[in-house]
C-alpha cells in the first residue's frame, strides 16, 4: 500500500528531472555555439591572433593553480605530450575556424564544418589507430560532406571570400581529430581534464603569442569590446561549455549529449543572423539537415576511439 501511495510523488520528481535535463542541454548548445559567435564579435575590436592569445592565456592561468594543487603531481613526461595536443587541438583548431570567420566565411557554416569532427575522427582512425572505416562510416561521411557542399555552395556567392578560406575550418577540424586520436593513444591522455586543459591552453598561448607579436603586439587592447569578448570566450565558450558538457554526461548518455551538440550549427546560424546580419538561405538549411544525417550515421557506427577534445569552440 505504501508503495502505491509513493507513485504519485515520484512522477513530479521525474518530471522535474526531465525539465532540468532539457534546460541543461539547451544551455550546453548555446554555450557551445558561443565560441563561434564570440570570435565573430571580438574580431571587430582587435586582431585575430591577439584575441586567441589572450583567450588561451587567461584560460590557462585561471586553471593553473588548480592544476598544480588538485590531482596527481604533473610529471614532465606527461606534460610534454599535452603541449603537443595543445599545439594541434588548441592552436590548429582555433586558428582554423577563427581565420575562416575573419576572412568572411559565414559563422554558421564554420560551425557546421567544425561539427564534422566525428567524420574527421573516423577518417583518421585508419592511419592513426589502424581502424578501417566500415561501410556505414563511408556512407555517413559521403552524406555529411555532401551536406557541407550544399550549404557552402550558396554562401560562395554572398561575398568576396577567397575560396581557400573555406578549407581553413576543414584543416582545423582535422587537426582537432588528430589530437583527439593521439591523446587516446597516449598514456598522458588519462591526465585529469583541468590539468590537461591548463597545459594545452598555455602551450597554445605561447604559439599564438608569436603570431600576435608578428601582427604588431601582444598587449591587450584597452577597449570594452575586446575585454568583453575575451571574458565571453573564456568563461562562456571555454569554462561554461565544458562544465555543462561534463555535467550533461553525468545526467545523460554520451550518445544523447553528442546528438544534442549537433544542434549547435543551426543555433550559431540564427545567432549570427540576429547579431551580425549574416544571411540565411534554404540551401544552408538543406545542407545542414543533410550533413547532420551523415554525422549521426558516422557517430553511431564509430568505435569509441575517443571523445571530443576540450579545445572545441
Query: Is the model's pLDDT at 187 over the cut of 70?
Result: no
Q: Give the number of domains in the chain.
A: 1
* DSSP structural state of residue 223: -
Q: Tell me if 308 is assigned to some domain.
A: no
Q: Is 130 helix (H, G, I), strand (E, B) or coil?
A: coil
Structural domain span for residue 25: 2-301
Instruction: Say how far apart CA 161 and CA 159 lie, in whole Å.
Output: 6
User: Residue 76 in contact with residue 85, Cβ under 8 Å?
Assistant: no
Which of 178, 312, 169 shows the shortest CA–CA distance to 242? 312
The pLDDT score that the predictor gives to residue 308 is 47
User: Residue 85 in contact with residue 265, Cβ under 8 Å?
Assistant: no
pTM of the predicted structure, to 2 decimals? 0.79
Q: Tell me if 306 is assigned to some domain.
A: no
Find all residues with CB under 8 Å of 300, minimum gap 6, and list them.
136, 255
Bin 104: left if φ > 0, else alpha if -120 < ψ < 50, else beta. left
| Mean pLDDT confidence for 240-253 | 75
Q: Tell me if 274 is assigned to some domain.
A: yes
Query: Is the model's pLDDT at 84 over the cut of 90?
Result: no
Chain length of the chain? 313
Which of 237, 233, 268 shows the shortest CA–CA distance to 110? 268
Find all residues with CB under 8 Å of 144, minimum gap 6, and list them.
116, 119, 290, 291, 293, 294, 295, 297, 298
More reliable by pLDDT, 147 or 68: 68
Q: Tell me if 123 is assigned to some domain.
A: yes
More reliable by pLDDT, 249 or 271: 271
Q: Tell me if 307 is assigned to some domain.
A: no
| Mean pLDDT confidence for 57-70 | 93
Query: Is the model's pLDDT at 277 over the cut of 50?
Result: yes
- pLDDT confidence bin for 307, thresholds 50/70/90: very low
Q: Is 75 helix (H, G, I), strand (E, B) or coil?
A: coil
Q: Tell me if 182 is assigned to some domain.
A: yes
Instruction: Say how far apart CA 124 and CA 177 lie, in whole Å.
Output: 7
Task: State the chain's mean pLDDT as an integer.
Answer: 80
Q: Tell me if 231 is assigned to some domain.
A: yes
Which of 144, 151, 51 shows the shortest CA–CA distance to 108? 151
Q: Tell me if 211 is assigned to some domain.
A: yes
Q: What is the pLDDT of residues 3-20, one digit of tens each?
A: 555 545 556 677 777 778
Amino acid at each position: 500500500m505504501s508503495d502505491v501511495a509513493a507513485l504519485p510523488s515520484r512522477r513530479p520528481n521525474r518530471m522535474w528531472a526531465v525539465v532540468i535535463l532539457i534546460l541543461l542541454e539547451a544551455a550546453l548548445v548555446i554555450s557551445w555555439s558561443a565560441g563561434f559567435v564570440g570570435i565573430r564579435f571580438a574580431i571587430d575590436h582587435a586582431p585575430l591572433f591577439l584575441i586567441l592569445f589572450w583567450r588561451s592565456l587567461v584560460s590557462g592561468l585561471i586553471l593553473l593553480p588548480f592544476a598544480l594543487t588538485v590531482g596527481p603531481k604533473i610529471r614532465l613526461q606527461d606534460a610534454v605530450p599535452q603541449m603537443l595536443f595543445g599545439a594541434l587541438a588548441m592552436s590548429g583548431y582555433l586558428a582554423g575556424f577563427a581565420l575562416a570567420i575573419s576572412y568572411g566565411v559565414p559563422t554558421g557554416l564554420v560551425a557546421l564544418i567544425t561539427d564534422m569532427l566525428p567524420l574527421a575522427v573516423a577518417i583518421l582512425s585508419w592511419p592513426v589507430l589502424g581502424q578501417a572505416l566500415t561501410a556505414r562510416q563511408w556512407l555517413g561521411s559521403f552524406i555529411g560532406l555532401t551536406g557541407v557542399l550544399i550549404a557552402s555552395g550558396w554562401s560562395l556567392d554572398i561575398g568576396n571570400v577567397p575560396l581557400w578560406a573555406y578549407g581553413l575550418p576543414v584543416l582545423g577540424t582535422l587537426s582537432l581529430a588528430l589530437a583527439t586520436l593521439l591523446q587516446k593513444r597516449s598514456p598522458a591522455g588519462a591526465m585529469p581534464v583541468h590539468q590537461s586543459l591548463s597545459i594545452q591552453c598555455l602551450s597554445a598561448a605561447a604559439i599564438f603569442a608569436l603570431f600576435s607579436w608578428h601582427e604588431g603586439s601582444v598587449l591587450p587592447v584597452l577597449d570594452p569590446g575586446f575585454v568583453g569578448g575575451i571574458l565571453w570566450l573564456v568563461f562562456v565558450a571555454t569554462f561554461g561549455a565544458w562544465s555543462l558538457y561534463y555535467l550533461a554526461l553525468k545526467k545523460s548518455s554520451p550518445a544523447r549529449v553528442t546528438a544534442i551538440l549537433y544542434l549547435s550549427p543551426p543555433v550559431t546560424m540564427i545567432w549570427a543572423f540576429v547579431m551580425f546580419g549574416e544571411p540565411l538561405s534554404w540551401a544552408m538549411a538543406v545542407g545542414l539537415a543533410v550533413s547532420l544525417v551523415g554525422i549521426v550515421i558516422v557517430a553511431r557506427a564509430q568505435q569509441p576511439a575517443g571523445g571530443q577534445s576540450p579545445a572545441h569552440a
